[in-house]
Amino acid sequence: MAATVQYTQMGVSARPGLEDTSVMRPTIVEVRLARLTENYRAIRTAVAPAAVMPIVKANAYGHGLVDVARHLIGLGAPSLGVGLLEEAVALRDAGVTTPILVMGGILGNQIPLFLRHGLTLTASSIDKLRHIDEAAREMGVTAKVHLKIDTGMERIGVHYYSAEGLLERASECRHCVVEGIYSHFANADAADLGSARLQLSRFLDVLQWYDKHGVSPPLRHMANSGAILQFPESHLDMVRPGILMYGVYPSTEVRRTIAVRPAMTWKSGVVYFKVVRPGHPVSYGSTWQSDHPVRVVTIPVGYGDGYFRALSNVAQVIIRGKKYPVVGRVCMDQIMVNLEWDSAYNGDEVVLLGEGGRETIACEDLAEWAGTIPYEILTNINTRVPRVYY
Ligand SMILES: *Cc1c(COP(=O)(O)O)cnc(C)c1O
């Protein structure tokens, strides 16, 4: 039974039969909250005593920001991580009062909004930290800050070789509490951990500053999913799992030391059935045709939902427990599937991603077919696809 259906982010103004989901397009993302629970607990057990900050950026990797955040908080998550100020504000607007760290780069004019919502800021330079301290003074509040050290990602953060100034400035802040200090791995999901080891050692060198000054460091964190799985020395005080918590491994080469299962199933349904004659090509560009009569069904999902156009003529879907190929180009709102001479009926369930009968279409399968990574498959699913929670 569906617990809740999230229509709030569909981006459509007409929502027919909100109370009667049977009249809606059958294309939905199902999220099994029990799987999220299992995955979260498996990670928590594996990294203990390190704390876990679940990452819910990009609509919780496509699973639905607010519902996933609430569920994780219900499981005891002490804090959440997001990429953008907007995501954190959306959580606050939904009544989430848990600490939220915004991990992305920030602009000076965003700082007051952070402070008004009690959000935790990433100070990635001395200049930004000064800005935060000043804004907090002006507003008469105390800013919660995590310092960001760049140990080899070259994205945001002060370089490890010139981090001392930031740590010194942080110790002088009068209107900030520095609650954490963190870095980020560039290659923690690779088979070869050489680069990750180098990054960790750079981070630990920076942290020596606290020893030298006889103060205990704030919360130290660095590990993403790859490092959680295969680099325990990097767990430090807290870890930041994203994709692993959703039950997907960050790469094919990573060591799968923690068992997780995907929380997401992406489903649709058959809305049209026909026989296509030989020599009558299917879809835009006429890229596919059969040399014998075939039964072809049409499914109401397309690249406008995040079903990549690159899946044209390569992807498979599951209907009645069996896999069938997507034929012809993926359209914006529809795809065609070749049943050869099997049967399917209007209304039959179609699994685009996940388990159907004994068959499975893994996120890794879609990623390989589309020439991308599982992260992009999940985060690309458009908000016009309702999320349904079980
Ligand atoms: C996205 C992100 C994570 C989570 O990464 P996964 O590989 O999904 O576990 C952790 N930390 C930072 C800074 C991130 O941007």
| Residue in this structure with the two tokens 């068959």, named with its chain if needed | 359
Q: Could you tell me if the CB of 267 is within 6 A of ligand 1? A: no
Rounded-to-integer distance, Cα 287 and Cα 314, Å: 12
CB 3: neighbour CB atoms within 10 A?
11
Bridge partners (DSSP) of residue 221 are 182, 238
Please identify which of the residues 161, 272, 284, 345 carries the catalytic annotation.
Answer: 284
Catalytic site includes residue 284:
yes
Give pLDDT, residue 108: 92
Cβ atoms of 138 and 170 closer than 8 Å: no
List all residues 6 or more positions away from 70 whose beta carbon is below 8 Å from its beta carbon. 94, 96
pTM exceeding the 0.85 threshold for the entire prediction: yes
CATH 2.40.37.10 fits 264-389, yes or no: yes
CATH topology of domain 32-246: TIM Barrel (3.20.20)
CB 141: neighbour CB atoms within 10 A?
14
Give pLDDT, residue 23: 84
Pocket test residue of 43, 103, 156 for ligand 1, highest count of atoms within 8 A of CB: 103
Q: Could you tell me if the CB of 224 is within 6 A of ligand 1? A: yes
Boundaries of CATH 3.20.20.10 in the chain? 32-246
Give pLDDT, residue 337: 98
Boundaries of CATH 2.40.37.10 in the chain? 264-389
Give pLDDT, residue 5: 60
Give pLDDT, residue 4: 55
Radius of gyration of the chain measured on its C-alpha atoms: 24
Pocket test residue of 82, 184, 222, 224 for ligand 1, highest count of atoms within 8 A of CB: 224
Whether omega for the bond prior to residue 49 falls within 30 degrees of 0, making it cis, is yes
Q: Ligand 1 centroid to 244 CA: how many Å?
A: 10
The segments of the chain whose pLDDT lies below 50 read 1-2, 8-14
Give pLDDT, residue 14: 40
Q: Could you tell me if the CB of 260 is within 6 A of ligand 1? A: no
Encoded amino acid at 343, one letter: S
* Phi-psi group of 236: left, alpha or beta (phi > 0 → left; psi -120 to 50 → alpha; rest → beta): left
Q: Could you tell me if the CB of 242 is within 6 A of ligand 1? A: yes
Token output for 191? 């088979």
For the CA of 182, the nearest atom of ligand 1: 13
Give the burial string for 65-97 (b: 16+ CB within 10 Å, else e): bbbbbbbbbeeebebbbbbbbebbbbbeeeebe
Q: Ligand 1 centroid to 252 CA: how many Å?
A: 17
Give pLDDT, residue 151: 98
| Of 105, 121, 198, 116, nearest in space to 160 by CA | 198
For the CA of 243, the nearest atom of ligand 1: 8
Catalytic site includes residue 57:
yes
